[in-house]
Chains A and B, each alone.
Chain A
C-alpha cells in the first residue's frame, strides 16, 4: 500500500536464528502495529508503538521484541526463531490510533524450518 512498505516480502530461516522484519512508512503517522496472521486465528496483535521509543505488548508478544528509533521505522525481531513463528506478518499504521484509520502493509511471509 502507498506509504507503507514491509521488507522482506518473503523469508525462509532456520530454527534458532535471529530474524528482523522491517516496516517503513512515509506518512509520519504516530501509531504502528505488528500483527501475525495464521489460518483459523485471524490477525493477532504482537506489539504496537505510540511514538518514538514508545512500545507495548500485544496479545501474542512472547518470543518477539520491537524497536522504534525513528518515526518511520518499526522493527520486529524474533530473537531465536521457532517453527511456531512461521506465519504472515502484517504491519499497520494509524495517524490517530483508537482503532481507526489503519493502513496495512502487504505482509511478510516468514517460514521457519
Chain B
C-alpha cells in the first residue's frame, strides 16, 4: 500500500515570497500523485495531478509541482504567494488502477504573513 509523507505540518511565509511544500511517497512501479487544497470549513479541491508524461505539472492558482522518481518526491511550489493562499494542503497518491481510494498525507498548513 502507498504511504505519503508531508514533511512539514506548518509553513509560515511572507506574502509575495516563494513557497515549497514537501511531499514524499513510498516507491511504486506506477503511481499517480495529487495535491489538494482545503480552505477553512470547506471540502477539498484539486490543485494539480501527475499521471504520466512531463515531470513538471502546472495547476490552478499559479501552483506547480515536480515529480522526482529517484527521490520519490512531489513537492508543490508557488513563486509568489498571496493572503488568499492560506489553507491546508494535502498530498495524495494512488498506485495506479484499482478501485481503492487515494492515500493522503497528514497535511501542511500554509500560513501567509502580511
Within 8 A of B (CB), among A29-63: 31, 33, 35, 40-45, 48, 50, 56, 58-59
A92 at the interface (CB under 8 A from B): yes
B57 at the interface (CB under 8 A from A): no
B96 at the interface (CB under 8 A from A): yes
Q: Which of A12-20, A69-77, A78-86, A95-103 contacts B (4 or more CB under 8 A)?
A: A95-103
Per-residue contact bits, chain B 79-114, to A (CB 8 Å; 1 contact, 0 not): 000000000001011101111111111110000000
Chain B residues whose C-beta falls within 8 Å of the C-beta of A107 in the assembled complex = 42-43
Contact of A45 among B98, B101, B105 (CB under 8 A): B101
In the complex, what's the smallest C-beta–C-beta distance from B59 to chain A, in angstroms?
Answer: 13
Q: Is the CB of B98 within 8 A of A97?
A: yes
Q: A98-B97, A99-B93 are in contact. Are A42 and B105 (CB under 8 A)?
A: yes
Interface residues on A, range: 20 to 34
Within 8 A of A (CB), among B31-72: 32, 34, 42-46, 49, 51
Q: A42-B90, A90-B44 are in contact. Are A102 and B104 (CB under 8 A)?
A: no
In the complex, what's the smallest C-beta–C-beta distance from B16 to chain A, in angstroms?
Answer: 29
Q: Is the CB of A100 within 8 A of B43?
A: no
Contact of A40 among B101, B103, B106 (CB under 8 A): B106
Contact of A56 among B34, B44, B92, B99 (CB under 8 A): B99
Q: Is the CB of B34 within 8 A of A41?
A: no
Q: Is the CB of A35 within 8 A of B101?
A: yes
Q: Is the CB of A41 within 8 A of B106?
A: yes
Chain B contacts to A: CB under 8 angstroms: 6, 9, 32, 34, 42-46, 49, 51, 90, 92-94, 96-107
15 A-B pairs, CB-CB below 8 angstroms? A1-B43, A35-B104, A45-B101, A50-B99, A56-B100, A58-B100, A59-B103, A90-B44, A97-B98, A99-B32, A99-B94, A99-B101, A102-B46, A104-B43, A104-B45
8 other contacts beyond A50-B99, A104-B44, A107-B43, with CB at 8 A cut-off? A35-B101, A41-B106, A45-B103, A92-B101, A97-B97, A98-B96, A98-B98, A99-B96
